[in-house]
């Protein structure tokens, strides 16, 4: 173990590797900060460059790029309400409202410090338990995934602000959009109206950009935000970034600890990853909080939990990828491809023959997260300048960037159409007090819930009890059902005692 670690240290602390990591980090920050451009895209763009590198610098470059890109996704989220990734969508309303209140530094500083902390904790846990965790990941069958995804959906009940009924309607809308396309169970096209583009389904990046950013541009253009006066308040907040971040961290230590642990655990499950981690921890945080009513209104507490969780989960996906060759997300899928091109077959042979490689990857995560602190600081400082740009100039540019992002995801104009249509839908929803976050959650998790439910039913010959036959599945199932029960009971009770709580819509 010590020998391997030392070997890994030697591999990573090579001047060439470190220079590559800084350059890749800057690149990742840049791509991640562009609204709509994702960490996956950044990784894909790196592929041709990694051809010319040795395996370690190639992997370190990807690690560094993704760690930075996920954090950088918080920047347009906080300043323009365009979450860079579905993972930052969980708390975008909080960071954006902090910015509107002139507290951009508090929001982004918290986000940065939490990302660093989550990343460090995640990398440390993984370095010591990777083989063990890989076993856990491999024991997840469709039954367990079904409950996990359902548990994720349950979070909609907690993340939505305002009226529970409106939140439910929004969630159902997201679930409906998720059913569009060829259903993989029967191979039948659903709601495609003969369009080949719709057969591929509605991908959530354009949908997300549309629902958060385009609706915001519309609201500004139609002046319904209480509009320009409020915008004028958004001054480039000066002063420290790191200090308020550390202060929030100190204040919500428990949340940060919870976030890093939950994030790491959810991260190792192939196909779950940073998105679910962020939403679940945000919901847990709100549930555990003493002031849940402040969530979604510019409160840092949920941000601490979810911000640590999404960076902590990032390294997790590499565990099943390196140990068993099973990609946890699209980034690790690309990584596996690169490894093969380098003549290394991910899988247990890597663990046996080159264990230092695995440790080098986690060490690279560690270093990348340390680098994130100074690089992220620079990014926040320079990104803040954008707020000085007059809105009349900024808003059209944002719309343009959104279109570029929506186009880039599949290189089709169809993505732009999806973005614009859903932007209008989200605008109408928010004007009428329907929160959009549950819809995004439904869109992200809908197909996962459906697929795993159908697969499990086929396996169990339609026997519902099979969902409780496996120990982990039973545990997750019981927890989810108990939460549902609590939600329903408290909703009924609350309704009886006081008149229905008026929806506090994001715009009022």
Partner 1 sequence: MLRRTILLGCAAAAVLALGMQRAEAAYPDRPITLIVPWGAGGGTDATARILASLMEPALGQPVNVVNRTGGSGVVGHSAIATAEPDGYTLGIVTVEIGMMHWSGLTDLTYQDYTPLVLYNEDPSGVQVGIDAPWSTIDELLAYVKDNPAGTLKASGTGQGGIWHLALAGMLKTAGMEPDRVPWVPSEGAAPGLQDLVAGGVDVVTCSIPEAQSLIDAGRVKSLAIMASARADNFPDVPTLEEEGIDWRLGAWRGVAGPKGLPEEVVNTLVPLLEQIHASDDFRNFMTDRGYGMVFEGPEGFEAFMAESNESLGSVMKELGMAK
Q: Which residues bind partner 1 (CB under 8 A)?
A: 40, 44, 47-48, 51, 138-144, 181-182, 184-187, 189, 196-197, 199-201, 203, 270-271, 324-327, 330, 332-337, 340-341, 343, 345-349, 410-412, 451, 454-456, 458-459, 461, 470
Query: Residue 186 or 393: which CB sits closer to partner 1?
Result: 186
Helix or strand (DSSP H, E) at 314: helix 300-316
Q: Which is nearer to partner 1, 184 or 254 (CB)?
A: 184
Instruction: Dig out the tokens for 322 from the structure.
Output: 């390196």
Task: Tell me the closest approach of the beta carbon of residue 42 to partner 1, in angstroms.
Answer: 13
Closer Cβ to partner 1, 145 or 427, answer by number: 145
Minimal distance in Å, beta carbon 442 to partner 1?
Answer: 19
Pick between residue 292 and residue 348 the one whose CB is nearest to partner 1. Answer: 348
Tell me the DSSP string of 332-353. HHHHHHHHHHTT---SHHHHHH
Least separation in angstroms between residue 458's CB and partner 1 is 5
User: Residue 306 in contact with residue 117, Cβ under 8 Å?
Assistant: no
Which is nearer to partner 1, 227 or 325 (by Cβ)? Answer: 325
What are the residues whose beta carbons fall under 8 Å from the beta carbon of 482, sequence distance 6 or more?
none
Smallest distance from partner 1 to CB 200, Å: 3
We find the least distance from the C-beta atom of residue 76 to partner 1, in angstroms, to be: 24
User: What is the nearest approach in angstroms of partner 1 to the Cβ of residue 53?
Assistant: 13
CB closer to partner 1, 471 vs 500: 471
| Contact (CB, 8 A) for 403 and 138 | no
140-174 as b/e, with b when 16 or more CB fall inside 10 Å?
bebbbbbbbbbbbbbbbbbbbbbbbebbbebbebb
The β-bridge partners of 182 are: 189
Task: Yes or no: say if 394 and 386 are a contact pair by the CB < 8 Å rule.
Answer: yes
Instruction: Provide the minimum distance between the beta carbon of 464 and partner 1 in the complex, in angstroms, as a whole number.
Output: 16
Give start and end residues of each alpha helix (H) in 13-52. 15-33, 39-50
> Of the two residues 268 and 367, which places its CB atom closer to partner 1 in the complex?
268
- Which residues on neighbouring strands pair with residue 181, listed in sequence order? 190
What token pair was written down for 150?
């359902």
Q: How far, in Å, CA of 120 to CA of 252, rounded?
A: 17
Closest CB to partner 1 among 20 and 338?
A: 338
**Between 187 and 223, whose beta carbon lies closer to partner 1?**
187
C-beta of 134 vs 256, nearer to partner 1: 134
Give 42 or 398: the residue with its C-beta nearer to partner 1: 42
Name the minimum Å distance from CB 44 to partner 1. Answer: 7
CB 107 within 8 A of CB 99: yes
Asked whether the CA dihedral 167, 170, 176, 178 is positive or negative, the reply is negative
Hey, is 435 helix, strand or coil? coil
Nearer to partner 1 by Cβ, of 289 and 410: the residue is 410
Close Cβ partners of 306 (under 8 Å, ≥ 6 residues apart): 87, 90, 91, 259, 277, 278, 279, 281, 282, 285
Instruction: Identify which of 413, 346, 409, 309 has the alpha carbon closest to the alpha carbon of residue 90.
Output: 309
Give the C-alpha separation, 103 to 490, whole Å. Answer: 34
Contacts of 107 (CB under 8 A, 6+ apart): 78, 94, 95, 98, 99, 298, 300, 303
Determine which helix (DSSP H) or strand (DSSP E) holds 190, and give its type and residue range.
Answer: strand 189-190
Residue 325 CB, nearest distance to partner 1 (Å)?
A: 3
Please report how close the Cβ of residue 338 comes to partner 1 at its closest, in angstroms.
Answer: 9
Radius of gyration for the chain, computed over Cα atoms and rounded to the nearest angstrom = 22
Shortest spacing between CB 323 and partner 1, in angstroms: 8
Would you say 200 or 292 has its CB closer to partner 1? 200
* All residues at 6 or more sequence positions from 140 whose CB lies less than 8 Å from its CB, including other chains: 148, 269, 270, 472
Between CA 465 and CA 406 the distance in angstroms is: 42
Spatial distance between the Cα atoms of 167 and 165, rounded to a whole number of angstroms: 5
- What is the 3 state secondary structure string of 73-94? CHHHHHHHCCCCCHHHHCCHHH
Residue identified by tokens 């719709």 is 198
Cβ 224 to partner 1 shortest distance, Å: 35
Instruction: Please state, in angstroms and rounded to a whole number, the distance separating the CA atoms of residues 308 and 259.
Output: 5
Q: Minimum CB separation from partner 1 for residue 22, in Å?
A: 25
């Amino acid at each position: 173990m010590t020998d391997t670690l030392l070997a890994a240290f030697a591999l990573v602390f090579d001047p060439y590797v470190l220079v590559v990591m800084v350059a890749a980090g800057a690149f990742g920050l840049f791509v991640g900060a562009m609204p709509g451009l994702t960490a996956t895209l950044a990784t894909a763009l790196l592929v041709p460059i990694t051809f010319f590198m040795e395996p370690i610098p190639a992997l370190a470059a990807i690690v560094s790029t993704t760690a930075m890109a996920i954090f950088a996704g918080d920047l347009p989220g906080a300043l323009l309400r365009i979450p860079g990734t579905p993972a930052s969508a969980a708390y975008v309303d909080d960071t954006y409202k902090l910015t509107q209140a002139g507290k951009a530094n508090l929001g982004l500083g918290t986000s940065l410090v939490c990302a660093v902390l989550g990343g460090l904790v995640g990398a440390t846990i993984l370095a010591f338990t990777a083989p063990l965790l890989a076993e856990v990941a491999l024991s997840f069958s469709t039954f367990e995934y079904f409950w996990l995804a359902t548990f994720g959906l349950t979070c909609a009940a907690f993340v939505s602000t305002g009226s529970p009924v409106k939140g439910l309607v929004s969630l159902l809308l997201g679930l409906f959009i998720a059913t569009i396309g060829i259903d993989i169970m029967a191979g039948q096209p659903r709601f495609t109206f003969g369009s080949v583009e719709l057969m591929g389904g509605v991908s959530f990046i354009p949908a997300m950009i549309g629902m958060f950013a385009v609706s915001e541009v519309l609201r500004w253009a139609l002046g319904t935000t209480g509009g320009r006066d409020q915008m004028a308040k958004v001054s480039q907040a000066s002063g420290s970034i790191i200090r308020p971040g550390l202060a929030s961290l100190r204040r919500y230590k428990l949340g940060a600890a919870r976030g890093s642990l939950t994030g790491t655990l959810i991260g190792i499950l192939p196909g779950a990853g940073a998105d679910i981690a962020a939403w679940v921890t945000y919901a847990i945080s709100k549930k555990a909080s003493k002031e849940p009513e402040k969530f979604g209104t510019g409160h840092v507490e949920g941000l601490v939990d979810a911000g640590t969780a999404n960076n902590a989960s990032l390294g997790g996906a590499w565990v099943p990828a390196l140990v068993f060759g099973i990609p946890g997300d699209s980034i690790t899928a690309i990584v596996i491809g690169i490894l093969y091109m380098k003549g290394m077959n991910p899988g247990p042979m890597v663990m046996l023959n080159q264990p230092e490689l695995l440790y080098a990857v986690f060490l690279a995560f560690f270093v990348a997260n340390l680098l994130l602190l100074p690089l992220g600081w620079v990014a926040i400082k320079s990104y803040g300048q954008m707020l000085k740009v007059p809105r009349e100039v900024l808003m059209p540019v944002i719309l343009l960037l959104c279109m570029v992002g929506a186009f880039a995801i599949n290189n089709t104009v169809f993505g732009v159409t999806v973005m614009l249509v859903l932007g209008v839908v989200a605008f109408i929803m928010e004007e009428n007090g329907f929160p959009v976050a549950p819809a995004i959650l439904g869109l992200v998790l809908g197909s996962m819930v459906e697929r795993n439910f159908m697969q499990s039913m086929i396996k169990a010959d339609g026997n519902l009890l099979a969902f409780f036959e496996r120990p982990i599945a039973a545990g997750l199932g019981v927890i989810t059902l108990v939460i549902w029960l609590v939600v329903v009971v408290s909703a009924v009770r609350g309704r009886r005692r006081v008149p229905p709580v008026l929806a506090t819509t994001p715009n009022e």
